[in-house]
Amino acid sequence: MSPAAGNGAAGGATAAHAPGIDRRGLAIIAGTFAIWGVVPAYWHLLKVVPSMQIMAHRVVWSAVLVVGWLLWRDGWDWLRRIAARPRTLAALALSSAVIAFNWSLYIWAVNAGHVVETSLGYFINPLVNVALGVMVLHERLRRLQWIAVACAALGVAWLTWSAGSPPWIALGLAGSFALYGLVRKLVPVDAVAGLGVESLFMLAPALAYVLWAEAGHGGGFAGDWGIGIDLLLVSSGVVSAVPLIGFAYGVRRIPLSVVGLLQYIAPTLQLLLGVWFFREPFEAVHLVGFGAIWLGLAIYAGEGLWRVRSRGAAIGG
């Protein structure tokens, strides 16, 4: 683990200017969340395909892409190095199971008309990341940052209460991806090689499911679905692997609390898609909750900007 990943948010600087924080990791994480924010539109294009088959194809083609590239680059050395470390192998087995659950739930939710609730899940998720960063990794937040997080937490609590029942989709997505992020942060393994091992853990059951479906159980690959859908399914490997590699790369180079706050990029974009593209309801009660979340983000960003300007003025003086 890099020093930046272990030091947390201590020191009083913003993410882009905090000592020891990897700016490249910061930029990659931000770009990754932007991709995840618009990806519901991609899964919507595959709505004709049952959700579990989308998931299985996603795993298969991700594995082909990632493992194929690793074999071309390193042969089997990448796998031998990880296999020689049983704890790392066990951690990647756990992370593969967690991300498989997350992917499956997300694809089903998008194509079942719950995009707004998926956005709620990823609004909750950064709060879980911040909590894990503070409690497990002993990262520290400043007072105004705590206030920002509290505003966001109140917004999520309001949305949960106003719905009248626990938002199981949102909670499942939030918890699973927070756990995935923590495991990948703590595993000292190359981002691509780690995803390659995760892909191998998921490959056998996914491939078996695809073959079962194509043997007369609702499959339509290279047949009923048409060439356009087939190409989208194959390309799902790229859509899945590239941002996940970026996430695994960046999460080990910046504090988990910063990851948690940057992650609001994705659910904001998902919310906009849910309301304007998918035409899901978004009423005044939702606006109150989301408004509290956005207020928290404004406080966090404003506090960071003030510190940067104060530091610049002190240096200039």
Give the model's pLDDT for residue 7: 34
Closest CA to 185 of 59, 53, 1, 30: 1
**269 has pLDDT over 50:** yes
Q: How confident is the model at residue 311 (pLDDT cuts 50, 70, 90)?
A: low
Mean pLDDT of the chain: 83
Average pLDDT (43-68) is 93
Give the model's pLDDT for residue 103: 92
pLDDT > 70 fraction of the chain, expressed in percent and rounded: 88
Task: Give percent helix, percent strand, percent coil of the chain, each to the nearest 5.
Answer: 80, 0, 20
* Higher-scoring residue by pLDDT: 8, 132: 132
Each residue of 186-239: pLDDT tens digit? 888 888 899 999 999 999 999 999 999 999 888 888 778 889 999 999 999 999
Query: Are residues 191 and 245 in contact, defined by beta-carbon separation less than 8 angstroms?
Result: yes
Q: How confident is the model at residue 2 (pLDDT cuts 50, 70, 90)?
A: very low
Query: Are residues 49 and 111 in contact, defined by beta-carbon separation less than 8 angstroms?
Result: no
**14 has pLDDT over 60:** no
Most confident of 81-85, 139-143, 278-282: 81-85
Average pLDDT (69-85) is 92
Task: Report yes or no on whether pTM surpasses 0.85.
Answer: no
The overall longest dimension of the chain from CA atoms, in Å, is: 75
Give the model's pLDDT for residue 15: 40
Most confident of 41-50, 220-229, 256-265, 286-295: 41-50
Residue 139's Cβ-side half-sphere holds a number of Cα atoms within 13 Å equal to 27
**127 has pLDDT over 80:** no
Q: How confident is the model at residue 317 (pLDDT cuts 50, 70, 90)?
A: low
Give the model's pLDDT for residue 301: 67
Average pLDDT (115-124) is 86
**130 has pLDDT over 80:** no
- Per residue, the 3-state secondary structure of 96-130, as one string, reads HHHHHHHHHHHHHHHHCCCHHHHHHHHHHHHHHHH
